[in-house]
């Protein structure tokens, strides 16, 4: 039996690049795949069903099972229909891979409202829209007494974790997806749904120009290198893991620990609340740059 026999997985942005690699890997492991892709260009313009249909043809010619869906994740009813189509055709939905994305890079000082809205709509709203309708379906299943073992895999990036010049909208959207991953994991765990995210490094049309010439043909940056992790996160083997981010950099799998409190803290010297006059000492001490001889009591370590 293949790893994902009986699974039905919806992949958004599945027509090219990393999304295409996910679809092929999932299908090769036995899953039925809903390949969603409206066929837009890198910046979100244009459109057409060619990319989704092409991936479906690849899967079916290899003996797998797949259908195409060309709706947009930015359209609420399209997102609902993706879930409904999976259930109507295959009888169930066991997983979602939120991968759809566009890029419109701009410095903050030259950014336009339209470009900001477009990027945030596809990445953040799109991830939420598909997630919401899938979660509605799984919650209804659980409420009716049926067993649920479902998996959501979201897509974040280094730009969302640490920022990147010229990518305010993209970074903010990806950071939002990281937070959405945590919230959805907390809310859906009771219904048998795990929610994790990947932060992939790969050479695709989306990342064109990001890698230097020396890495542009690096086999470790082939999109297919990412997809084994996604397939594993869609499998029952991953049902214990939720609310986490895994970064894939070639052969390296890295756990992202997220925001964490530093191991020390400063206590207000009056014992009640922080005062303006002590913050120069307190903050510089927290960052390890406090000069010797500053007036006031020593900070307290946790």
Q: In angstroms, rounded to a whole number, what is the distance separating the alpha carbons of residues 116 and 178? A: 18
Say how far apart CA 129 and CA 36 lie, in whole Å: 14
Can 171 be counted among the known catalytic residues? Answer: no
Q: Which residues, at least 6 apart from 83, have a Cβ–Cβ distance to it below 8 Å?
A: 10, 93, 130, 133, 134, 136, 137
- DSSP characters for 34-90? EEE-----TTS----SHHHHHHHHHHHHTT-EEEEE---TTSHHHHHHHHHHHHHHH
Pairing between strand 95-97 and 65-69? Answer: unpaired
Given 118, 171, 174, 199, the catalytic residue: 174
Q: Which residue is catalytic, options 118, 157, 227, 235?
A: 157
Task: Compute the distance between CA of residue 12 and CA of residue 79 in angstroms, rounded to an integer.
Answer: 10
Asked about 157 being catalytic, the answer comes back as yes
Tokens, residue 49: 């069903």
Q: Active-site residue among 118, 170, 227, 266?
A: 170
Q: Identify whether the C-beta of residue 101 lies closer than 8 Å to the C-beta of residue 148.
A: no
β-partners of residue 96 are 10, 152
Instruction: Name the 3-class secondary structure at 154.
Output: strand
Is residue 143 annotated as a catalytic residue, yes or no?
Answer: no
Question: Which residue numbers are catalytic?
Answer: 157, 170, 174
């Amino acid at each position: 039996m293949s790893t994902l026999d009986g699974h039905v997985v919806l992949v958004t942005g599945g027509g090219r690049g990393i999304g295409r690699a996910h679809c092929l890997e999932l299908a090769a492991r036995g899953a039925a795949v809903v390949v969603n892709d409206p066929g837009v260009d890198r910046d979100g313009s244009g459109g057409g069903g060619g990319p989704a249909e092409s991936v479906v043809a690849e899967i079916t010619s290899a003996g797998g099972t797949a259908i195409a869906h060309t709706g947009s994740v930015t359209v609420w009813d399209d997102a609902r229909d993706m879930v409904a189509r999976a259930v109507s055709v295959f009888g169930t939905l066991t997983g979602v891979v939120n991968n759809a994305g566009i890029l419109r890079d701009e410095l903050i000082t030259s950014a336009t409202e339209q470009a900001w809205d477009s990027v945030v709509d596809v990445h953040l709203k799109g991830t939420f829209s598909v997630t919401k309708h899938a979660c509605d379906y799984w919650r209804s299943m659980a409420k009716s007494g049926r067993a649920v073992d479902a998996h959501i895999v979201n897509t974040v990036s280094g730009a969302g974790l640490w920022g990147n010049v010229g990518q305010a909208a993209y970074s903010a959207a990806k950071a939002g997806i990281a937070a959405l991953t945590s919230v959805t994991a907390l809310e859906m765990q009771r219904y048998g749904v795990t929610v994790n995210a990947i932060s992939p490094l790969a050479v695709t049309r989306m990342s064109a120009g990001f890698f230097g010439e020396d890495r542009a043909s690096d086999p470790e940056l082939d999109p297919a290198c990412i997809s084994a992790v996604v397939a594993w996160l869609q499998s029952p083997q991953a049902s214990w893991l939720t609310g986490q981010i895994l970064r894939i950099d070639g052969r390296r799998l890295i756990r992202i620990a997220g925001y964490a409190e530093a191991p020390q803290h400063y206590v207000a010297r009056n014992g009640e609340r922080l005062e303006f006059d002590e913050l120069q000492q307190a903050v510089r001490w927290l960052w390890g740059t406090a000069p010797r001889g500053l007036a006031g009591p020593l900070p307290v370590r946790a």
